[in-house]
Structure 1
Amino acid sequence: MRVAYQWVDKASDILNNKIGLNAAGVKQSYQQLLTEMSQQKQKAGTLNTAIDNFIKTTHSYWSGLFHCYEIEDFPRTNNDLEHAFGMLRHHQRRCTGRKVAPSSLVIRGSVKLACAIATKLHSFTASDLAQVDIHTWLELRSQLQKHHKARIEQYRFRRDPKAYLANLESRLL
């Protein structure tokens, strides 16, 4: 049991990154720890299955686990990320004067959140914005427009389901 707790403490130390490794260094150190845990899990005694579960869960989150070491001030935990979302909702409510965040936040939230975090860290000039790839921007706009159209269709259905279904039926037949 003591060995399992030592591994968890070591995992915590690696992820806290007090020595200041880059993302690749943290990833490599963490992978070495997981390899050690996998090879020596019998030392954990009754926590053997818990070690297997820990390794399995870690591998399922692996692709998104180290972004916070690549991007400065990127939220490291779910609590930090939820705080960023809460901050965005708060500002949206204040800007619109509404008691709740506007529904556009559902459709364009991915863009609005990224913009809110980016502008908090850096003040952008017109020349910064002019360097954006126009094709990527148009593709993003197209994706957001699809979400917006789906949202409008939901509204039309809720408002008048019979007319919506009749229109849909006429288009399909």
Structure 2
Amino acid sequence: MTNKEGFCRAIKTIFPNTAHAFCQAHYLKNIAEPVADVDESLKVSLRKNVRSEIGDLIRSEHHGEAQGRVLTVTGILPSPIDDPESNTPPKKIREEQEDIVNALIRRSRYLLTLKGRPPFRLAGIEMFERLTGLILELDEFICHIPDSRLLELQQGICIALKNASNEYADIKNAAGWLQDISDLLEVDEKNPRTSKNVRMELFVYLASIKKQGEGNPILTDFAPKICKTTSNYASGLFHSYDNLDIPRTNNERESEFREFKRRFLKITGQKGATLRLIQRSGAWELIPTPNSISEIVSAISQTDFGEFCKERQRVRSHRERFRLHTRSADQANNQLKKLRERWLEIPADELSE
């Protein structure tokens, strides 16, 4: 007997007339397991294929910047500057080209590290789509200046994506099923439904995905597993539609545990955060803030201004490496837009490969 079965029997014995609801969020996560497993396989194979095609290219830039990636600054923390690039001397054309190419290579390398968060954030699908978006972005860069490394990057990713396209299409289809089931379970306040209505709609939809999966070995495997898990949850999946006091998920209660854990980690120290902060922001040793203007002047006067500016620029350059290390599509698109604008400002006729 599993823990779930024993728990349900105990509830039924002690509270025989009480409707015991199952968390719909856990239900969605469980029906996503077979899809998530195949998606994980897609992610691994896609990452392997990309590294097989352009591994030397994406690793070369990384090794080139290995030295000095952790910075230590001792002294007064400088005040924030609104425009970090305003006091930076203009770069030479070749240096600007190198910076932009390296940033695009770093973006491709970062996309190979994505992790899945089922039921809806599937890393294999996301990696495929983000890499597809990247090669489309590279078209404009290459049209302006046909840099050999960007051409190699684009061609290598294209080959890897082509090899995974069929598997991606099947998993994307199954991911659509998960989203449809989630939408079907949503409460419509304008058109309320009874538990009987929702149950019927759900099982009708499950019958339809069985037909959709016929003839496809991957989808044929997904549909029965989703149906079986749904049958196991059916006894407690629909009570909330008849009784609005019964929550559809355990999210509110689990958020209390997450908040407790967050506060606990805030007090005791977050595991893994120290290394991540050091790698991305550098290690800083700060002296106490002076209490008066005279003390501030005295402290700053002991710091060589040239060395201070040089160290500040090192910190900016270090942080710049992580600009495209973001899963947010909006943030990534914004950074790519800035890179594209900088790239188009490079005079192509003055630059030779």
- Work out whether the TM-score is over 0.5: no
Higher relative contact order (CA 8 A, sep 6+): 2
Of Structure 1 and Structure 2, which has the larger fraction of its residues in helix?
1
TM-score, with length taken from structure 2: 0.22
